[in-house]
Structure 1
Amino acid sequence: MTAQIERALSLLRAGELVGIPTETVYGLAADAANPQAVAKIFALKGRPADHPVIVHIAGSAQLSDWAQDIPDDAWKLAEVFWPGPLTLILKRKAHVPDAVTGGQNTVGLRAPAHPLTHELLLQFGGGLAAPSANQFGHVSPTTAQHVREEFGAALPLVLDGGPCQVGVESTIVSLVDGRPKLLRPGGISRDVIESLLGYELEHHVKASTAGIRASGLLDSHYAPRTPLWLGARAQLLEIAAEHTAANQRTALLLLGDVTNETNALMPGQYVHYLPADPEAYAQALYATLRHHDQRFDLLLLETPPRTPAWLAVHDRLQRAAIRKY
C-alpha cells in the first residue's frame, strides 16, 4: 500500500474529504456511511442538500450492502460493465443515509475502474460518496491540478491518478419502477447497454420527467464561468467577428482533426480545435473549457454531429451552454 493511499484512508476514516481519480472525472470523496462527512462534500461544493450523490464501491460483491430488491438486469449490467463508467440507480437499503440519497428511496452505485481508486476502495471496505470535485454546476475536473485549483487548501489531499481517460461522467441507468431508464448518457453508450439487455431504454433528458433526482440532471450544469454559446461554424465565425469588433475577446472551439492546436486569428480572437472522434473529444472537453474559461469574454463552440456516438457530449454541452443556435 502506498503512503498516499494510507493517508487517504486515514483522512476518510476520520470523516474528512479526499480528491480521488476515476476514469470519468475526479471525485470529492467522503465515507458514504458517515452523514457528517458527506455533509462536508455539500458544504465545500455548495451543492443543494436534496441533490443525491453517487456511492462508489469496489465491485458488485458490495451491491447488496447498499441496495435491496436488486433486479436481474442490474446484476447483468454490473457483471459486464463494472468496474467502469456506469451508475445503477436501485432501491436503497434502510441504513443508507439520507445525506447520500437526497431523502429518496433510491441510491446510485458505481464501481470505478481507475486502479488507484479501486485499490483505495478495496482497502477502505465500505462505500465512498463522491460527486465531481468542483464547485456545484461548474466544469468537472479531469486532472488533479483542476481539483487543487478548485479548492486549494480547503481539501487536504488529492490523489493524483493522471488525466481521466473517459473525460465525462458515468452513464446513469435507473432500475426501479418498471422499465429501466437512461437518466444520463456517459462513458458506456446507450446502444451497448441496450444490446446487452435486449430492449430499448427509456431516455429522460430532464430531471422533472425522470421522476428521480440524480447527479447531473439539472438544466444548467457542467458550465464554465465564461458564457458558452453553441452553434454551426459559419454562425460562430460571424458572431466572433461582431464581438471582436466590439473589443470583446472570443475563443472559437471548433471541430477538427488537429488536437490542441491554438492559432491567433486577430487580436482578441483565438481558435482551438477539438478532436473529431467522439471519445477523444469527450476526454478533452472539460480540460479545454477549463483552459479557456475566464481568459475570454465569450466561448463559441461548434456543435458536434448529432449521432448516437455523440449523445453524452451533447448532453453535457446542452446543460453547459447559455445560448444555442
Structure 2
Amino acid sequence: MNTKIDILDTKNLDKDVIFTIGNIIRDGGLVAFPTETVYGLGANALDSEAVKKIFVAKGRPQDNPLIVHIAEFNELDRLVQNVPDIAKKLMKCFWPGPMTLILEKKPIIPDTTSAGLKSIGIRMPSDIIAREIIKSSGVPIAAPSANISGKPSPTDMERCVEDLNGKIDYIIGGETSKVGLESTIIDCTVNPPCVLRPGGITLEMLKKVDEKIYIDKAIMEKPKENLKPKAPGMKYRHYAPKAPVKIVKGELKKTIAKINEIVQNYIGQGKKVGIMATDETKDLYNDALVISLGSRKDLNSIGKNLFETLRCFDDKEVDIILSEAFDEIGFGVAIMNRLNKSAGFNIIDV
C-alpha cells in the first residue's frame, strides 16, 4: 500500500487535506492523526470491515476494545443508550480533552469496535486536527494509538511513519502530543465510577467532581489470580521498547547509587545501558546513555517525554534500560502505570 504523508499547520489548516482525509475515513480507510494524548490510528467506528483493518495494521488482539472519538456532544445520542448524571458532569468539566468515558453502547456500534462488550469508550479530543477530521468524515472515529501493538505509543508523526508506513492510507502530522500519555478511562456503567486507566485527567481532578470516584487497584500492580485489571486491554503487554526495562524505586540517593551499581554489572558483561533520568539527576550517572525525561518538579514534561524516550533507546540499540521511579500522586500515577507496564513490573526496591 502507498501511504500518503502530510503535515498540517494547526494555525492555518489545509481544508482540502482535511476533506480528503474525511472521505478516506468515511469510505473505510485508515488514517493516523494527531491528538493531544498520543497519535491515533483512525477508522469509521460504525464500519466493521474498516475497524478490522486497525487490528491487522497494528497486530492488535481483537478482544481489546477501541475508543470511539467524537467532535460534538450531540453525537452521543446515536451511540450510547444513556448518559448518567455523573458522566454529564465529567464531560462538562473535561471535554474536549484527554478523558474517555465507558458508557452502554447502542447497536449502531458494531461488536468489532467494542470487542463484543455491551459498553464502549467515548472521547472528545481537544486537538484541532483530530476534531476537524472527525467533523469532515461525518462519522465517529475508532482510534487506538498509531503504533505496532505493544510498542510505546507515538507522540509525533515520525514514529507513526516508522510503524505504519505502507500499512495504512494516510499519515497526517501536526504538533507533538501535548499530554504524551493515553487518555484517562473512567467506567461510568458502575456506581461509583471507576478509573480503568490513569491519564492526564488525574484522580485528584476527578474527585473534585465526585469524591466517590476511585481507581482500579489492579492497574498499578502486577496481575495476580485474584487481582486482574477490569479493562480488557490492560492485560496485554504495552509501551515496551525492544530492550528490557527495569525500574529502581526508593529514596532518590539510594536509587542513583543502585542504578550506578547495576550499570557497572552490565558494563562488565559488555552490555550497552540506557538510563531514564531527570534534570536533577542526569549528571550523576556514569558509563551509560542517559536521557532526561524532564524536571521532577514538572510531571507533565516527564509524561510528555516518556514514550519518545523509550523509543530513542530503541534507536540507540541499548541492551537494557534502567529508570528512576516517580511518586504515585497526581499525574505520577499515569506515569508509573505506563512505566510499570513497559517494564513488565520488573521493579527493584532500594
TM-score category of the 2 structures, normalised to the smaller one? over 0.9
Whether 1:164 and 2:145 are equivalent positions in the alignment is no
Counterpart of 1:40 in 2: which secondary structure?
helix
Closer, same or farther: CA 298–238 of 1 in aligned 2, 3 Å: same
Q: Which residue of 1 aligns with 2:291?
A: 272
Query: 1: CA distance between counterparts of 2:47 and 2:347?
Result: 41
Counterpart of 1:256 in 2: which secondary structure?
coil
Whether 1:88 and 2:101 are equivalent positions in the alignment is yes
Q: Which residue of 2 aligns with 1:226?
A: 243
Q: CA deviation at 1:119?
A: 1.1
Q: Which moved more, 1:293-302 or 1:39-48?
A: 293-302
Q: CA deviation at 1:324?
A: 1.0
Matched-pair identity in %: 33
User: Match for 2:30: what amino acid?
Assistant: L
Query: 2: CA distance between counterparts of 1:25 and 1:312?
Result: 14
Whether 1:311 and 2:295 are equivalent positions in the alignment is no
Query: 2: CA distance between counterparts of 1:263 and 1:270?
Result: 12
Give the conservation status (yes or no) of the 8 Å contact 1:60–1:75: no
Query: 2: CA distance between counterparts of 1:241 and 1:194?
Result: 45
Give the conservation status (yes or no) of the 8 Å contact 2:37–2:180: yes
Q: Which residue of 2 aligns with 1:246?
A: 269
Q: CA deviation at 1:196?
A: 1.3
Query: 2: CA distance between counterparts of 1:200 and 1:172?
Result: 12
Counterpart of 2:81 in 1: which secondary structure?
coil
Q: CA deviation at 1:218?
A: 2.2
Query: 2: CA distance between counterparts of 1:264 and 1:270?
Result: 9
Whether 1:44 and 2:44 are equivalent positions in the alignment is no
Counterpart of 1:293 in 2: which secondary structure?
helix
Q: Which residue of 2 aligns with 1:182?
A: 195
Cα deviation, 1:104-140, whole Å, max 9, x if unaligned, reads 1100000011001111112222200000011111100
Query: 2: CA distance between counterparts of 1:305 and 1:287?
Result: 21
| TM-score, with length taken from structure 1 | 0.93
Closer, same or farther: CA 42–188 of 1 in aligned 2, 3 Å: same
Query: 2: CA distance between counterparts of 1:132 and 1:138?
Result: 10
Q: CA deviation at 1:212?
A: 4.6
Closer, same or farther: CA 291–262 of 1 in aligned 2, 3 Å: farther
Cα RMSD between the aligned structures? Answer: 1.9
**Match runs of 1:86-125 below 5 Å:** 86-125=99-138
Query: 1: CA distance between counterparts of 2:273 and 2:215?
Result: 39
Aligned residues: 319
Counterpart of 1:122 in 2: which secondary structure?
helix
Q: Which moved more, 1:65-74 or 1:167-176?
A: 65-74
Q: Which residue of 2 aligns with 1:236?
A: 259
Whether 1:291 and 2:327 are equivalent positions in the alignment is no
Query: 1: CA distance between counterparts of 2:131 and 2:214?
Result: 29
Cα deviation, 1:247-289, whole Å, max 9, x if unaligned, reads 110011112248xx799943xx221122121101000111111
Q: Which residue of 2 aligns with 1:321?
A: 343
> Mind listing any 5+ residue stretches in structure 2 that lack a counterpart?
1-13, 249-254
Q: CA deviation at 1:205?
A: 2.9
Query: 2: CA distance between counterparts of 1:262 and 1:222?
Result: 26
Query: 1: CA distance between counterparts of 2:60 and 2:181?
Result: 19
User: Match for 1:224: what amino acid?
Assistant: P
| TM-score, with length taken from structure 2 | 0.86
Whether 1:3 and 2:16 are equivalent positions in the alignment is yes
Give the conservation status (yes or no) of the 8 Å contact 1:263–1:270: no
Q: CA deviation at 1:219?
A: 5.2
User: Match for 1:5: what amino acid?
Assistant: I
Cα deviation, 1:287-310, whole Å, max 9, x if unaligned, reads 111111151111111112233340
Closer, same or farther: CA 152–263 of 1 in aligned 2, 3 Å: farther
Cα deviation, 1:53-76, whole Å, max 9, x if unaligned, reads 000000322122211122011111
User: Match for 2:198: what amino acid?
Assistant: P
Q: Which residue of 1 aligns with 2:8?
A: none
Q: CA deviation at 1:203?
A: 2.5
